[in-house]
């Protein structure tokens, strides 16, 4: 079962920030530059944490993983946006044959 996570990060060094952003693009959809929506299984969550651990500086940087619940139920309804609408990741998918 996949859970929907909001992953937010505050990275103090520009080089580490770029590395974390590049890594996160492989795990989810950016909502803002330092905020991602990720639908992860338990093992994918562990892999994400293992991938972030050597990149971040644990005394200066912060990464938060917020579990919104199952991706196909409450997790889909848990993000509320004001202003410019949130783009649906499903709308960004393209099938090329």
> 29: domain CATH number?
3.30.70.240
Q: How many residues does the chain have?
A: 97
47 within a domain of the structure (yes/no): yes
Relative to beta strand 35-40, strand 3-10 is antiparallel
Give per-residue pLDDT as tens, 45-83: 999 999 999 999 999 999 999 999 898 876 666 777 788
Give per-residue pLDDT as tens, 3-20: 999 999 999 999 999 999
78 within a domain of the structure (yes/no): no
Task: Note the Cα 43 to chain centre separation in Å.
Answer: 15
Domain that holds residue 50: 3-71
45 within a domain of the structure (yes/no): yes
CB burial of residue 96 (10 Å; 0-12, 13-18, 19+)? exposed
């Amino acid at each position: 079962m996949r859970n929907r996570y909001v992953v937010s990060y505050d990275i103090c060094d520009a080089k580490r920030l770029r590395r974390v952003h590049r890594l996160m693009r492989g795990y989810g959809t950016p909502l803002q530059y330092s905020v991602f929506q990720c639908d992860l299984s338990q093992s994918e969550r562990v892999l994400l944490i293992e991938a972030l651990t050597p990149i971040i500086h644990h005394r200066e940087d912060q990464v938060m993983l917020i579990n919104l619940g199952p991706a196909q139920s409450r997790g889909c309804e848990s993000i509320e946006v004001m202003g410019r609408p949130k783009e649906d990741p499903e709308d960004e998918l393209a099938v090329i044959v």
